[in-house]
Amino acid sequence: MSGLLVVRAGALTTVQDLGRPGHAHLGVPRSGALDTAAYALANRLLGNPPGAGVLETTVDGVGLRALAAVTVAVTGAPCAVRVDGRPAAWGAPVRVPAGAELSVGRAESGLRSYLAVRGGVAAAPVLGSRSTDLLSGLGPPVVAVGTLLPVGPPGPAPVAPADLCPLPGPPADLLLPLRPGPRADWFTEASLAGLWRAVFRVSARSNRIGLRTEGGSPLARAREGELPSEGMVLGAVQVPPDGLPVVFLADHPVTGGYPVVGVVPPGPALDAAAQAGPGTAVRFARAR
């Protein structure tokens, strides 16, 4: 029997791929791997197609028993990788014999590690995606001890050579480029000017839905009243009445009722946001 049996679930381990875009009008978030570069690298190392299912771990990794021999790769937050207790490579293909136990350890920096397996994690897709969507409850359930993760057939592409360069680790501070709009005019000019100087901290209440901030100087509203609910994009920085920005990540709601002061472009900045732990300093820099 092939597949990976979960023996240690970790703090929050989910199946992720590129998500399910195209269904926002039905109330379905995009979802998908938060650190998109680390996700893509893990699949590339194994010759998997770009949308293959992987495991996204949070803070303390995951433990799996291989029911048949598999090749895996761990990227994202750097961590110790072990096979039956023996150290193995991070950021490179690793062979796991049948019956061996693979351990993805605690993140040494950053939050989220990505465990890809050659052939992909083949959990049942929902609306074309294997992503676990924590906001909507779509996709495979959160990984638990005893979960059996099916592994798909390997594709024709080869496993990458060992000298492929892994990505650098997550930065200590978070600098997020922000393109103002569409509701920047809901805030006072003084507080908008102050936003480029403000230093926030990542709140422990952050999750796959959004990176919440605390500690910086709150934005002040220039106008009263409620904004009618409107469509939200990935990277939108929504400002609730407390004035503290929330950066929307992959499981963000498709519509929201608080004004969006600006948008962080998807890519390296949002990938870094996905790796920023509680207390990390957050600054915004004007982008166009």
Partner 1 sequence: MRPLVVGGEALLVEVGSAAEVAALHAELLRRRAAGELGAVREIVPAARTVLLDGVRDPAALGARIARWELRPPAEGDGPLVTVPVRYDGPDLAEVARLWGVAPGEVAGLVGAVVFRVAFCGFAPGFGYLTGLPERLRLPRRATPRTAVPAGSLALAGEYAGVYPRSSPGGWQLIGATDAVLWDPAREPAALFAPGVRVRFAEVAA
Residues in the site for partner 1, rule: CB under 8 A? 21-28, 126-127, 136-138, 179, 181-183, 228-233, 235-236, 253-255, 260, 262-265
Gyration radius of the chain over CA positions: 20
Give me the least distance between CB of 18 and partner 1, in Å please.
Answer: 12
The CA-atom distances, in angstroms, between 66 and each of 39, 102, 103, 109 are 21, 7, 11, 27
C-beta of 2 vs 136, nearer to partner 1:
136
Judged by beta carbon, residue 24 or residue 222, the one nearer partner 1 is: 24
We find the least distance from the C-beta atom of residue 64 to partner 1, in angstroms, to be 27
Residue nearer to partner 1 on the CB measure, 108 or 230: 230
| Nearer CB in complex with partner 1: 141/181 | 181
Q: Where are the beta strands (DSSP E) in 27-78?
A: 54-56, 62-66, 70-76
CB 271 within 8 A of CB 50: no
Minimal distance, residue 282 CB to partner 1, in Å: 18
Residue whose CB is less far from partner 1, 137 or 161: 137
With a CB cutoff of 8 Å and minimum separation 6, the contacts of 202 are: 174, 211, 212, 213, 214, 276, 277, 278, 279, 280, 282
- For the bound state, the minimum distance from the C-beta of residue 156 to partner 1, rounded and expressed in Å, comes to 29
Instruction: Find the shortest distance in angstroms from Cβ 93 to partner 1.
Output: 33
- Stretch (H or E) spanning 179: strand 174-180
